[in-house]
Structures are given as structure tokens and as C-alpha cells.
Chains A and B, each alone.
Chain A
Amino acid sequence: MTVSQTGQRKRSAKDFTWKNILKHREKYILVLPGLAWYAVFAYIPIFGLSLAFKKYMARMGLFGSPWIGLANFENVFADPAFLQSIFTTLRINAGRLLFVFPFPIFLALILNEVRLGRPKKILQSIFTFPHFLSWVIVASIMVNILGQRGMVNSLMGGLFGAKPVSFLGIPSYFLPLIYLTDIWKSAGWSAIIYMAAISGIDTEQYEAAEIDGSTRLQRMWYITLPGIKPTIVVLFILAMGYLMSGGFDQVFNLSNPATIRVAETLDMYIYRITFRGSVDFSFSAAVALFRSVINMVLLFTADRITKRFGGSGLLA
């Protein structure tokens, strides 16, 4: 980028002199509306996180409420189920990164290779369908398919005389179930971002490669994939930043009492603890802050590592 052209220019570009700022005034005007929104609607409420160290008293307001130090955190950590749920969350989401994350990339790559216009459009539409189904519905479909009286068991019974298996009630089947259903539901939708990135690749590169006599697999590997690499890297780093969150609806709806030991994520733990009442804002703030800090550490670690290995990272 221009920033790194010469050391001198780099320094001068960052100088907070009026002249320099005036020179870039157009850019400030461009970013102003967006930043104003962030300042008001993201940064003012962020101070609410201070509740993690306070006891919220409505009459005294957010800022006037008394400090109570780390008491909220002590309460959070006192429950062994809390730490267990963190472990479960990381386990489930790390697996997601490994098994679910690559699939939309793959899907986008091969969809891009379909050379019949209409089927391509129809196929892509079909792949986005499941995104609109709620997990409640997906879960009930899964019961229809994988239940003891469901499709799979009927088939297995009919073909091999196998005894019906309760696929959804066996703890060791739970993680594969999560990943497969996640791919089923979201791969097509997530692929859209990659499809868009592919559309942005300069077509001249393909023409030149075609003239050079490259095969399609080669072009996929040497042009398309590198072309969307910045997008992949950024999405990967962001996904790292979500390792502690996400997936509540899915895990909640697909888990059941038989599999709860391997399924209770942090979100489900919080839901269980708070469902019967007591809306403790300080408790919620403490959990949220804890989660955010871990997410942040993971995200910036991922960003660092990418940069070390020659990637451009988030701040490209």
C-alpha cells in the first residue's frame, strides 16, 4: 500500500498537523457518519461493561453505582459448570473452524466452475434455502430423519435388519451432528461472500492463463484461490474471534438431556442460570466482559500469526 512506499511519506502521513489533517479532509468526511454512529451507539453503551465491577443501582445510574471489585467474577467462577461450559464451547467451536469453515470456500470454488448459467443460478439458490430455516425446524427435521422411527433407521432396518439406533441421544455422535447440520444449513449462505470475492477477480488473469494453456484445476488453484485469499484470511481471523460465542440456537435445539454433558456451551449455561428469573445485569456484564477478553486475545493472536506467516492480517 501507499503507506509503505517510503519511510518519509509514512511518517508524514501519520503526522497530526493541521496541514496534514486538512489535506486528508475528504477522507475524514467520508468516515465521519460511520464513526459518529460507532461513537454514539457502540461506544457510549460499551461503558456499561463497567457494571461487571459494580452493583447496578438504577437510582444512581450507570456511573454512580457503587464499585464492588471482583465480586461478580468470583460468583461467576464459583460454579464448576461455568468452566466446564467454557471448555465445551471452545471444543465445539474449534471443531467448527476445522470442519465447517473450509466448506463454503470449497463450495464457492466449485460452483464457480459450473459453466451452465441457469443450473448454476438454481443450484446456488437451493444452497441458500436452509439459511432461512430456524434451528427449531432443523432440529425437528433431524428427529424425523435420525429418530428411532425415522428415515435412516427404517432404511437400515429394511436393508440390514439393524436395530434402531437413537442417533440423537448418543453423546459421542453429538459433535459430528453439529458440524454436519451447520454445513447443511449455512454453507450455501456463507459461500455468497466468496462468490462475490471471486466476481471481483480481474478476468484478464484468466484470459492470460488460458492463452498460456493452463488447465482449469490449475486456474482454480493459482488464480481463483489466491484471488479470494484476503477474504478467507479475514474471515478466518474473525472466526477465531468468535470461538467463545455463537451457535446458541443450534446447540440448544439439537441437544437434549441425554447429550447435555457434551453440549452445554457458555451461552446455554447462562440461559440455564438466568432463565428462572433474576435479571442480574452485573452478572451478565461480568460474563460478557470475560468472554470478550478471551475472544479478543484469540483474534489478535490469529492476526499476529497470519502476519508472521506473510499474510496481510486484518489491518491490511
Chain B
Amino acid sequence: MKGTKRLVCLILSVVLSLGLAAGALAKEYERVVISYTGPQVVAGYDYNTGDEYSKFILEKFNFEFQPVNVPWGDWNSMLSTWIMSQDMTDVGNFNYGDGTHADASNFVSQGLLKRLPDDWKTRWPKVAEVYSKTSLGPTLEELYGGTYFIPRARFFYNLPGDPLANHWSLWLRSDWIEAVGKEVKNHYTIPEVLEIAQLIKEQDPGQVGAALVPISMDNGNAARFFVEANSTYWDTFYKGEDGKYAWGAATPDTLEGLKLWYKAYSTGILDPEYYLLTYEKDMEKFQTLGTAGVSYLGGQTADVENYRILFERRTGFAKDDFLFATLLGADGNYHQRDLINFWGTICFRPDVDEAVFERWMDLMEFTASEEGYPGTQMGLKGVDWDRDANGEIISLVPPGTLLAGAVGEGKYPSLGHVLGSVILWDDLALDNPNIGKQYRDESRALYANRYEFSTPETFVKADWNLWLSFTENLRRARGIDYAVEYSNLVTNASSEEDLVKRYEAWLESQMSLIQPVLDELNP
């Protein structure tokens, strides 16, 4: 009898505590309307009735969603216009950068954005944890004396390192490299690539004929390839060994990169009209036409398999003929400045309704958690993905299923960095079973070798002192379009001596912009 009583008590208390726990988990939300601005909003798409994923999110957090799309090219100016007019949406995705920092600090000093409550990190611990890894977030918090922006992290669970490496990679034709007798590997220096390109031009291993383009790059990618990859500070200022700031354009590394560029241009291994290429025509020649030997383009984990599939489908060459590799400078080192682990920052209007603010924070907390974050890219748990006994993510959809994608193409057009995402896709891509494991491993290796082939001097951390400066002089100096300027020197030069002459004259002509900045930075 006593035993039964005890048992009933036990059962009752278990049921009770379960009920309490469940109640605590599933908060009773009262319905709110949330407006949001961002370029990743699918224009014209009704998120409220759209697809199962958006319905799941909107039901779970009980709100009506009013998203506003801003076209990419107008993102900064539109959002700033609305903020400056004190008429922004409840939530905004602000494009933080060294160029827009002036705007941001202006918004903060005028009280045009919400200052997050001081206890937000304890109330939304997961968001705070992501935030702590973005390096920009804490830096700004210290500067502003409070939190106004929550950067969205490129990586959280799979952060490759600090500073963060970029994904931009060499695209190479491994079948052609083999045919001209060179080694197939996952890293090359610029001179090595030029040598391979020269051999491809001479031997034309693919029998392409007149349409052959050994190196296919548009202007921006050519500048990245020849100058950025060789000269860490090719387009900015830097603090030299003597502790004084200097101008990166005037370094020997930059001139060396220009000489390599001129060599490739004048010998015809670089597309002779590379500067006319727009709309990813360089990519087209490699991936769609199969007439290019080398390109320098994106290599995100999410894409390394996808790009190869498209390559095979369009050109008829084998997937494996498409090789990704890391590009190293002539000195054998990988050159880059910290990519900084964020892309886009979340901010709120200053008078945002408390319930709306909390709801969005709850939503971000959910998408940052292990429970919610696979969904932002893989859809619904239990339908499209799940976790196995070891906690590993497993896919429940057939290979090749397009989960995110344009309306009419993807299963869930609402998947994207809109509905609460604070961790971007670069991260989950490394664990996403919908991408072949060999490709994810390849991507990890590409990230790893960027750290391996670099020194703290060639692959550097962010210089926050410079990044956060925004004097008028700096603003003007930041307006220099280095890729265009360098390209102008290369295309107009008649010989290497002429190039050097033009380069020196150009350096001289820019001093009226540069000297005032140097004077400011070196008081």
C-alpha cells in the first residue's frame, strides 16, 4: 500500500515536473508583426504562406512577417536613408564594413538604433556565444560602450582559425596540368600558375584552338590573383616594422605583382580583353565552355561539389578535371588580411516594440542552437534531416534535392539568411551530409593549407585601429579603386620599364590623397 502511494507520488511529481519543463520550453507567444530589411529577402515572396519552413518558423514564434527586399547595389543607401529618416523596419541587416563604419557610428551617436539591454548576453546565451566569435561584435561593443549590432558569423561550430581565411580559390584543369607534365596539387604559387598557363598555351592539350584562354579572369579577379595574392596590403595602409603606417600600394610586393600581371598580359596567356569581361564571363569560359585553363573564383564549401556537377553537365568533361587549389604569392606564402568572421549585422529600430525585439532574439537563439541551426540550410527536422544516435546530422532527402533555391526551383525558397540566421552557411556546409564527404574534406584541406603556407606577416589579423578610423582624408583615400588603377597601368604599358615608370608616376599623383592620411595615422 505504502509502495503504491509512493509510486503514485513519484509518477505525479514526474508528470508535474515534465509539464513544467514543457511549459518553460514552449513559451506562450502572443502574436506580433515583425518587419525586416535585407538584400537576401526574396522579393515578392509571401513568407507567411510561402513554404513549410517559413510556416514552421512563423508558427513556432507566432508572428506575421513583413520583409522588405533591398537590391544588392542599393543596400547601403536604402537602409541608411530609412535609418536617417527614423523610419527603419523593426529589424535591419546593416552592411557593416570599414567603409560604412562612419554611417554606423553616426547612427549610434544620434540614437537612431536600439541599444540592446545590458543583460542580453545572459538572456540569449547562444547568440552571445556566436557573437563572441565574430571579433567585430565585441570590438564595436567596446567602442560604443554597449551593443547595437549583432554580426552574423560566417563560422561558429567549424571556425577554421583566426584570422579567418577567404574561400577564393584557383580553378584549374587538372587534366591539362597532367598533360603538360606538371604536378597536380592543392596549392600553387603565381609563377607556377603562369608557367602552367604558358605550357597550356603552347601545347593546347585540350585541342581547343583559337578559343583557348589559358588564364580567364575578369578585372577584379585578375587584381586578386596578381596583386592581392602577392601583396598583403595591396589596397590599404599598414603598420610597418618601425611602428609607422605606410601605404601598401608602394610596397615592392605590389610592384612585383604588377610585373607578373604585365607579363601574363603581354605574352597573351591572360585573356587579352580580360578588362571587358562582365557578368562572370571569366567563370563562363571555365565552367560552361571549357575553354579556360585557369580561373580565380569562389570556392565555398557549399559550392565545391555543385560547381563540378555543373561543369561536367555543361562541358562534358569529367568532374575530376576541375581542380580547386590555394593560390600563394611568388614568395611561397599565402597573403591575406583577416576576412573577419561576420557578414551583415543585425540591428533594431530604437523604439522597437519590446515583444518584437524579444521575439527576434528568441528566433536568433533558436537558429544558433544545435537544434535549430541545421534547419536554416537543410529544412525541417524529421522531414529533411535528423540527428543519429551520435548526434551527427543525417540527411533524409535523396541526393541532389534542392532545398534552398529560387521560387519554383527550391523546396523552401524561404531558406536563406533572413529568418533569424546568425550563423551563415559556410559553417554548416562543412557538416552538411547533402554535400559529398570527399568534397567537405577537400574544403577543410584548402582552409588548412592557407594557414600552413603563411606567416603572421603575410596572413594578418584585422587592424582595428585603421578599420575603425573614418576621417574625411581616409574616406577619400578609400575611394581609390585599386583593381581599376592597377589594371589601367598594366594595359597601357608598352614594356616592363614603361610599367614601372607609369607605376611610379601614379604613386606620385596619388600622394595628395595619401599623404594627409599618413600624416593623420603617424602623429
Is any CB of A less than 8 Å from a CB of B in the complex?
A: yes
Q: Give residues in A with beta carbon < 8 Å to B.
A: 56-59, 75, 78-81, 136, 139-140, 143, 147-149, 166, 168-169, 171, 256-258, 260-261, 272-274, 276-281
Establish whether residues B275 and A257, one from each chain, have CB atoms under 8 Å apart when the complex forms.
yes
Rank and list the top 3 A-B pairs by shortest CB-CB distance, nearest first. A277-B99, A277-B100, A276-B99
- 1/0 contact string of B268-295 vs chain A (CB within 8 Å): 0000110110110000000000000000
Q: Which residues of A contact B484 (CB under 8 A)?
A: 257, 260
Neighbour of B513 across the interface among A57, A79, A260, CB < 8 A: A79
Bound-state Cα–Cα, A79 to B513, Å? 7
Minimal beta-carbon separation of B67 from chain A (angstroms): 22
Give 16 A-B contacts (CB < 8 Å), ordered by A residue: A56-B84, A59-B112, A79-B513, A80-B512, A139-B278, A148-B273, A149-B210, A168-B276, A258-B491, A273-B479, A274-B77, A276-B99, A277-B98, A277-B99, A279-B81, A281-B84
B219 contact from A139, A256, A261, A278, Cβ within 8 A? A256
Question: Would you call B275 and A169 a contact (CB within 8 A)?
Answer: yes
Nearest chain B CB to A79's CB is how many angstroms away?
5
For the complex, give the distance between the alpha carbons of A272 and B403 in Å.
37
Residues of B near A78 (CB, < 8 A) are: 472-473, 476, 512
Known: A143-B273, A169-B491. 18 other contacts (CB 8 A): A58-B84, A58-B86, A58-B112, A59-B110, A80-B509, A139-B278, A148-B272, A169-B273, A169-B275, A169-B276, A257-B483, A272-B479, A273-B479, A274-B77, A277-B102, A277-B103, A279-B80, A280-B475
Interface residues on B, range: 35 or more
- Hey, which chain B residues are within 8 Å of A75, CB to CB? 472, 476
Residues of B within 8 A of A272 (CB): 479, 481
B85 touches A278 (CB 8 A): no
In contact, A261 and B273 (Cβ under 8 angstroms)? no
Shortest CB–CB separation between residue B177 and chain A, in angstroms?
25
CB of B114 to closest CB in A, whole Å: 15
> When the two chains form their complex, are residues A277 and B76 in contact, meaning their CB atoms are under 8 A apart?
yes
Chain B residues 158-206 with CB under 8 Å of chain A are none
Instruction: Answer yes or no: B317 CB below 8 A from chain A CBs.
Output: no
**What is the number of contacts between chain A and chain B, taking CB atoms within 8 Å?**
100
Residues of B within 8 A of A148 (CB): 272-273
Instruction: Please indicate the chain A residues that have their CB under 8 angstroms from the CB of B102 in the complex.
Output: 277-278, 280
B416 within 8 A of partner (CB) = no
Is B487 at the interface (CB under 8 A from chain A)?
A: yes
Given the interface contacts A58-B84, A278-B470, does A258 sit within 8 Å of B492 by beta carbon? yes
B306 at the interface (CB under 8 A from A): no
CA distance A281 to B107 in the complex (A): 13
Taken together as a complex, chains A and B put the C-alpha atoms of A260 and B482 apart, in Å, by: 12
Which residues from chain B contact A147 at a C-beta distance below 8 Å? Answer: 273, 276
Question: Is B488's CB within 8 Å of the partner chain A?
Answer: yes
B103 with A278: CB separation less than 8 A: yes
A280 vs B77: C-alpha distance when bound (angstroms): 9
B interface vs A, CB < 8 Å? 76-77, 80-81, 83-86, 95, 97-103, 110-112, 210-211, 219, 272-273, 275-276, 278-279, 470, 472-473, 475-476, 478-479, 481, 483-485, 487-488, 491-492, 509, 512-513
B residues less than 8 Å from A278 (CB atoms): 99-100, 102-103, 470, 475
Which residue of chain B has its CB nearest to the CB of A278?
B102
Docked-complex contact A257 and B219, CB < 8 angstroms = yes
Residues of chain B within 8 A (CB-CB) of A149 are: 210-211
Shortest distance in angstroms between A96's beta carbon and chain B's nearest beta carbon? 23
A58's contact among B110, B279, B481, by CB below 8 Å, is which?
B110
A258 to B95, CA, bound (A): 30
Q: Which residue of A lies closest to B476 (CB)?
A: A79
Residues of A within 8 A of B470 (CB): 278
Does the CB pair B491–A257 fall under 8 Å? yes
Query: Smallest CB-CB separation from A80: which chain B residue?
Result: B512
Within the complex, the shortest CB–CB distance from B472 to chain A, in Å, comes to 5
Contacts of A168 in B (CB 8 A): 273, 276
Q: A261 to B478: give the CA distance in the assembly, Å.
A: 18
A279–B103 contact, CB under 8 A?
A: yes
Docked complex Cα distance between A57 and B110 (Å): 7
Minimum Cβ distance to chain A for residue B235 (Å): 11
B83 proximity list for chain A (CB < 8 A): 58
A166 touches B86 (CB 8 A): no
A90 to chain B minimum Cβ distance, whole angstroms, is 21
Give CA–CA (A149, B273) in the complex, Å.
Answer: 10
Whether B488 and A166, one on each chain, are in contact in the complex, defined by CB atoms closer than 8 angstroms, is: no
**B272: A residues at CB distance < 8 A:** 148, 166
Q: How far is the CA of A274 from the CA of B102 in the complex (A)?
A: 12
- Cα of A148 to Cα of B213 in the assembled complex, Å: 13
In the docked arrangement, what's the CA distance between A277 and B94, Å? 11
Report the nearest A residue to B111, measured CB to CB.
A59
Residues of B within 8 A of A261 (CB): 488
Distance in angstroms from A155 CB to nearest chain B CB is 16
Q: Which residues of A contact B85 (CB under 8 A)?
A: 58
Known: A56-B84, A168-B273, A279-B81. A273 touches B95 (CB 8 A): no
Nearest-CB distance from A164 to chain B (Å)?
Answer: 8
Is the beta-carbon distance between B479 and A277 smaller than 8 angstroms?
A: no
Name the residue in B112, B211, B470, B491 with the highest tally of chain A Cβ atoms < 10 Å from its Cβ.
Answer: B491
Question: Which residues from A are CB-within-8-Å of B95?
Answer: 277
Measured CB to CB, the closest approach of chain B to A37, in angstroms, equals 22
Question: Which residues on the A side are within 8 Å of B473 (C-beta)?
Answer: 78
Residues in chain B near residue A57, CB distance under 8 A: 110
B86 / chain A contacts, CB cutoff of 8 Å: 58-59
CB-based contact A277/B97 at 8 Å: yes
Residue of B at shortest CB range from A82?
B476
Expressed in whole angstroms, the Cα–Cα distance for A164 and B47 within the complex equals 53
Chain A CB within 10 A, most for which of B83, B479, B485: B479
What's the minimum C-beta distance from B279 to chain A, rounded to whole angstroms?
8
Contacts of A257 in B (CB 8 A): 219, 275, 483-485, 487-488, 491
Chain B residues with Cβ under 8 A from A273's Cβ? 475-476, 479
A302 to B481 alpha-carbon distance, docked (Å):
37
Query: CA A179 – CA B478 in complex, angstroms?
Result: 32
Distance (whole angstroms) from the CB of A282 to the closest CB of chain B:
11
Residues of A within 8 A of B99 (CB): 276-278
Cross-chain contact of B278 among A56, A140, A260, A276 (Cβ < 8 A): A140
Complex CA gap A134/B470 in Å reads 36
Which chain A residue has the least Cβ–Cβ distance from B107? A58
Instruction: Considering the complex, give the chain B residue whose CB is closest to the CB of A166.
Output: B273
Distance A233 CA – B278 CA, assembled complex (angstroms): 40
Give bound CA distance, A281 to B98, whole Å. Answer: 18
